[in-house]
Copies of this chain bind each other. A is one copy, B any other.
Amino acid sequence: MKFEVCSTDGRARAGILTTDHGIVETPMFMPVGTRATVKAVEQRELIEIGAHIILGNTYHLYLRPGTDVIEQAGGLHRFMNWYKPILTDSGGFQVFSLSDLREISPQGVRFQSHLDGSYHFFTPSKVIAIQRSLGSDIMMVLDECTPYPCEFEYAQQSNEQTIQWAYESKEAFAKQPPLYDHSQALFGIVQGSVYPEIRIRSAVELVKLDFDGYAIGGLAVGEPTETLYSIVDVTEPYLPANKPRYLMGVGLPENILEAIERGIDMFDCVIPTRNGRNGMLFTNHGILNIKNARYKYDFTPIQEGCPCYACQNFTRAYIRHLFLLKEIFALQLASIHNLTFFLYLVHEARNAILQHRFQQWKQQILENLKVQQETNINERSYE
């Protein structure tokens, strides 16, 4: 994997990430394909809307269909017929948020599957091995994702464990060769909850290990938005300029733009697909709730000028009809549109950085986004 910063504008960066499965321009947004599918969106549609990289999940894929199935398929790319880059999350977050039992020890974490209650044990080395079987272009280390709120002492102690696991991950990464004919990169994950000094120690220690890239994890877990931004502010100066930075699980359009301004290159979030499936549609002029009665006779597209299949072919009235009847096609159209919007957003951000007008562009976008705000952002279904 290669990463090059092409241009900066303040702390904001426009870069190019090169993998054996192709290049990705940054800032990038990664559609979430947890279980080897981006919900309700076909792989050819991901290509169509300009997704150049997607995310898979180690915890979910390890449980179903199982590492053996994906290995026999020849890796995750072949299994799901997606030949652009894939990043796989380590499963740390899912072990801590989804599974029924968690026992952390210095060796790793024992947990019960949320699907069938079976017992499993993840070590840093095992998580690397699973990701070697998956063959993702970018692998993530096993970490403990602390909840919010989290006591200082616990955060500190947990962080030391996560640093130790990062060492072990790097070691396992060196020992376990790739299974397929492409190379794989490994990212470290900065933890430390909302505490600047722990975040800084985490970053400093991880950077010593010379990972291919650095994620900021443990955010977007319920803390105030200002805290999210301030933790990014605190951490970013300690991350090497020549490596990609990934803010995990973020977020809303405004969060993404604020983080880009603070030097972040990579994002993933289920909001466009999950909230889309609830009828929350993102536009240049804010969020609209397509189930609203005001769209009953609205024969305009979700957003004028949007190039996506939904906007080029169907009206708000039609999509509202599909949503009210819970038709599957509603989920497809909403997901396609919202992902198109998020990909457009980071693409435009990149252009603005290249043209050194990011600040100005961001202000304008944020103002426009406030025009229409019909939906409680917390109205969610859970994947």
Contacts and interface: CB of A to CB of B under 8 A. Distances in A.
A317 B79 contact: yes
A125 interface: no
A72 B320 CA distance: 15
Nearest to A80: B318
Contacts of A65: 296, 317, 320-321, 324
A321 B329 CA distance: 21
Interface residues of A, number: 36
B39 A329 contact: yes
Interface in A287-322: 296-297, 299, 309, 313-315, 317-318, 320-322
B318 A40 contact: no
Contact of A299 (B72, B297, B309): B72
Contacts of A320: 65
Interface in A37-90: 37, 39-44, 64-65, 69, 72-73, 79-81
A35 interface: yes
Copy tally for this chain in the complex stands at: 2
A83 to B, nearest CB: 11
From DSSP, what is the main secondary structure of chain A's interface residues? Answer: helix
Given A40-B328, A42-B329, A318 B35 contact: no
A73 B328 contact: no
B64 A318 contact: no
B329 A331 contact: no
A318 to B, nearest CB: 6
A24 B164 CA distance: 68
A327 interface: yes
A64 B325 contact: yes
29 contacts: A35-B321, A36-B318, A37-B328, A37-B329, A39-B327, A39-B328, A40-B328, A40-B329, A42-B309, A42-B332, A44-B309, A44-B313, A64-B321, A64-B324, A64-B325, A65-B321, A65-B324, A69-B297, A69-B317, A69-B321, A73-B299, A73-B315, A73-B317, A73-B318, A79-B317, A80-B314, A81-B313, A81-B314, A328-B328
